[in-house]
Amino acid sequence: MATNTLRAEHRIGPSAVAAGAARLPNVIRSEWTKLWSVRATVWTLLAMLVVTVGLSALFASTAATSTDPAMEHMRRDPTGTSLAGISLGQIVIVVLGVMSISTEYTSGSIRTSLIAVPRRLTLLGAKALVLAPVALVTGTVTSFAAFFVGQALLATGGINADLSDPQVLRAVVGGGLFLAGNALFGFALGAVLRSTASGITVAVAVLKILPELVAQLPGTLGDWAQKGFTSNAGQQILQVTPPADRLGPWTGYLVFTIWWVVILAIAAVLMRRRDA
């Protein structure tokens, strides 16, 4: 190796470094490589699938066989029962969303990334544009898998739903949309907080813990929070028949989207201003 490397300076010139530039399509290609070249990505997506389908299957098999009156609401809403695992899969994909940007900051590799792509919004945009379709495709697969496995189990109790039933297809597609939205929610928070630990903590608090807590607030503030606070709004797209006192499925999903878009906009402003 020694003789090899000591002669290195004679071979610095490349065979051919053709013209190219740090434009968005190139940066998207780069981010695609980054996402799939760490094992954590595949493992996290598999974990989302497994916990979502697993929890849904547990609920479905319990609902199919139980005669407990407390389970009655699950038997009356077979679609909702088969999608119940999404509330757990949500946490997993939020973690993926946070980490798809926070690891650049915790490792310090963001500096290398920004030397290659000094236009910061191009880098941020490319990351989001790679994460979004990956989360949407895997989220949709997960949602459909949970639905079909759940319905197969509920069928043993004769209480299964069908995709052709009113609003059912929208709810199952909504499961994929909801998971994708959570990935981007986590991504936006990760970009603002620039730390994996605080990103995940804040994301779980904002998406899983606070929605239940703030709904308990008294008066109109509580009503508003129950309707519009993050997951409270986003989850309506999973409901076959949304409760009358909540937002409609698409309105709820729109409000949920506005939440992460605003946070992502804040991240964009901060990213342009802050030292890397």
Partner 1 sequence: MIEVHHLTKRFGDTLAVDDLSFTVRPGRVTGFLGPNGAGKSTTMRMILGLDRPTAGFARVNGRSFAASPAPLREVGALLDARAVQGGRSAQHHLLSLAQSNGIPRQRVPEVLELVGLAAVAKRRIGGFSLGMLQRLGIAAALLGDPQVLIFDEPVNGLDPEGILWIRNLMRGLAAQGRTVFVSSHLMSEMAQTADQLIVIGRGRLLADVSMREFIARSATNRVRVRTPQGAALARVLGERGVGVTERDGYLELDGMSSTQVGDLAAAHHITIYELIEEQASLEAAFMEMTRESVEYQASAGDAATPAA
Instruction: Name residues contacting partner 1, limited to 111-140 (CB under 8 A).
Output: 111-119
CB 89 → partner 1: shortest distance, Å? 23
CB 3 → partner 1: shortest distance, Å? 10
CB 153 → partner 1: shortest distance, Å? 37
Residues in the chain: 276
Does 103 contact partner 1 by CB under 8 A?
yes
Scanning 6-14, 75-83, 135-143, 206-214 for contacts with partner 1 by CB under 8 A, the matching segment is 6-14
Does 276 contact partner 1 by CB under 8 A?
yes
Whole-angstrom distance, CA of residue 195 vs CA of residue 105 = 7
Closest residue by Cα to residue 53 from 91, 76, 77, 84: 84
CB 43 → partner 1: shortest distance, Å? 11
Write the CB contacts of 42 (distance below 8 Å, at least 6 apart in sequence). Answer: 36
Does 47 contact partner 1 by CB under 8 A?
no
Question: Strand, helix or coil at 83?
Answer: coil
What backbone torsions phi and psi does residue 260 show, to the nearest 5 degrees?
-75, -30
Does 29 contact partner 1 by CB under 8 A?
yes
Closest residue by Cα to residue 128 from 245, 227, 254, 268: 268
In Å, what is the CA distance from 124 to each residue of 23, 127, 142?
13, 5, 26
**Residue 115 vs 244, nearer CB to partner 1:** 115
Does 244 contact partner 1 by CB under 8 A?
no
Interface with partner 1 by CB under 8 A: which residues?
Answer: 1-2, 4-6, 8-23, 26-27, 29-31, 33-34, 37-40, 103-104, 107-109, 111-119, 273, 275-276
